[in-house]
Amino acid sequence: MKPPERHLPGQCQVANDVISLVGDKWSVLVVSTLGSGTLRFSEIKRAVEGISQKMLTTTLRGLERDGYLTRTVYPTVPPRVEYKLTPLGIELLGPVSALGNWAIANHARVLAARRAYDERAE
């Protein structure tokens, strides 16, 4: 006779598995960047300011593994590798953008709260 689970623990873990990607700063930026179309490795690196080569590689591999983007290698010299969102990646862009827009819209409120809190603490 357990009470009904409020947060559906199993599903919470499931959700976290996907959401944790959103917490990854670089993943969000890379997915957003690819929202405008197919890009090469170096183009992404230029677009996502501040990312190191290592982190970009790691991030792209993770996103590819989870099915959010495809990686296409053209065996030319020098090599050319293109990255593109999959339908799944494009779908992900929806809720992520919604959250991003909420963040932008409410950032001032958060900043104000922080100032008030810090001031109160002196």
Partner DNA sequence: CAGTATCCCGCATGATACTG
Partner DNA sequence: CAGTATCATGCGGGATACTG
- Alpha-carbon distance 122 to 116, whole Å? 10
Q: Which residues bind DNA (CB under 7 A)?
A: 24-25, 40-43, 50-55, 57-58, 60-61, 71, 73, 78-81
CB of residue 42 vs DNA: minimum separation in angstroms? 3
Q: Which residue has the tokens 């009904």?
A: 4
- Alpha-carbon distance 9 to 32, whole Å? 30
CB of residue 77 vs a copy of itself: minimum separation in angstroms? 25
| Residue closer to a copy of itself (CB basis): 11 or 53 | 11
Q: Which residue has the tokens 């339908």?
A: 87
β-strand pairing of 69-74 with 39-40: unpaired
Q: Which residues bind a copy of itself (CB under 8 A)?
A: 6-7, 9, 11-12, 14-20, 22-25, 28-29, 32-33, 36, 47, 49, 64-67, 88, 91-92, 94-96, 98-104, 106-107, 109-110, 112-114, 116-118
CB of residue 105 vs DNA: minimum separation in angstroms? 26
Contact between 28 and 22 under an 8 Å Cβ cutoff? The reply is yes
Six-digit token pair at 55?
Answer: 């982190």
| Residue closer to DNA (CB basis): 73 or 108 | 73
